[in-house]
Amino acid sequence: MSLAGEAEPRSPDPAVGGVFAAARRLQEAVGRVVVGQAPAVELVLVALLAGGHVLLEDVPGVGKTLLARTVARCLDCTFRRVQCTPDLLPADVTGLSFFNQRTQGFEFRPGPVFTQVLLADEINRATPRTQSALLESMEEHQVTVEGETHALPSPFLVLATQNPVELEGTFPLPEAQLDRFLLRLSLGYPSVEEETAILRRFRERSPLEAATPVLAASELTALQEACRGVHVGAAVEGYLVGLVRSTRENEALDLGASPRATLALYHAAQALAAVRGRAFVLPDDVKGLAPAVLGHRLIPTAQSRLRGRGATELVEALVEAYPAPVESERAAPPSRAAR
């Protein structure tokens, strides 16, 4: 059975097949290091293929930094890590202009943001001024220093981690900064079996040392373009837009999701469908992604917070309540050759 108004290709799409194969390679490579966390790994791949950034938010010691470093190691991309602290300055991230006595002129020295994969560890320990230094780079893939604009490498991915329970010496990310992240993920504690496997896997040394790249930067760019070609039918498109707009009318929320959130959910759903080997998006793709894409973009009312209902829980409730398209047989979309 298929969704009304949606279209499933009668023959496999080669471009989507390439995304599926590459995603499997990357998932397997990450899985050799990170125990469990398959849903989180899949979502990081979705962000990677959708050209978005990821905020990993959880308590210390559950593997946030390990996951970010492993994904970076499995990509044949340049990688830099920034350990965020209160004394970190914006120039420590973006770079600065300095006077070269040898050439008797000013030169620009690029900061760690000039990379393809940037790990911003404990981002909420950096001051608001330093956090804001990432805004332009995350949204426009460029950095402006002293009036001169410098383009960042492509692809460009920011993986940021933060600890939500330790508040001393931290600076909560403002809504404008949170909105730059495509997804916010929480890893959670492992099961008994997974924690036992962690002990055995890390008994002698970290398997991260043996991780090797399985995906080149040029290949990743092509896969991102392939994901943008995944079909989204009118019914699913209407469902997605209606779901996002419903957050703006919900009495439990002071702030609903913006049109940027609509675009983020749209592109993430395309990427998720491709990762799962489909050339079309299902409402289930939208449903599964909504908490991770929308949760950090909403502000619950004070009454909702007093009742212990956070933004993610409110999104989950909205997804359950909002009617999805009805399933039925469907016709295939036009092939790439026919477009």
pLDDT of residue 73: 87
Q: What is the DSSP letter of 180?
A: T
**Per-residue pLDDT tens digits for 284-301:** 999 999 999 999 998 888
Answer yes or no: is 152 within a domain.
Answer: yes
pLDDT of residue 166: 66
Answer yes or no: is 5 within a domain.
Answer: no
Give the helix/strand (H/E) hosting 261: helix 259-275
Answer yes or no: is 327 within a domain.
Answer: no
**Per-residue pLDDT tens digits for 171-188:** 888 888 888 999 999 888
pLDDT of residue 7: 41
Identify the residue whose tokens are 């992604």: 289
Answer yes or no: is 167 within a domain.
Answer: yes
Q: What residues have CB less than 8 Å from 335, skipping those under 6 apart?
A: 9, 11, 13
Core vs surface per residue 124-161: b (16+ CB within 10 A) or e: bbbbeebbebbebbbeeeebebeeeebebeebbbbbbb
Which residue type sits at 238? G
Determine what percent of the chain falls in helix, strand and coil, rounding each to the nearest 5: 45, 15, 40
Answer yes or no: is 7 within a domain.
Answer: no
**Per-residue pLDDT tens digits for 87-103:** 999 999 999 888 778 88
Domain of residue 56, residue span: 14-321
Answer yes or no: is 9 within a domain.
Answer: no
What is the distance between the alpha carbons of residues 170 and 163, in angstroms, rounded to a whole number? Answer: 9
User: Domain holding 161: CATH number?
Assistant: 3.40.50.300
pLDDT of residue 87: 92
pLDDT of residue 200: 92
Answer yes or no: is 99 within a domain.
Answer: yes
Mean local confidence (pLDDT), 2-30: 70
3-state secondary structure 23-56: HHHHHHHHHCCCCCCHHHHHHHHHHHHHCCCEEE
Structure tokens at 311: 């933004």
Q: How many structural domains comprise the chain?
A: 1
Position 1 pLDDT exceeds 80: no
pTM score of the predicted model: 0.85
pLDDT of residue 208: 86
pLDDT of residue 167: 67
Q: In the predicted model, what is the mean pLDDT of the chain?
A: 85
What is the distance between the alpha carbons of residues 311 and 243, in angstroms, rounded to a whole number? Answer: 14
Answer yes or no: is 2 within a domain.
Answer: no
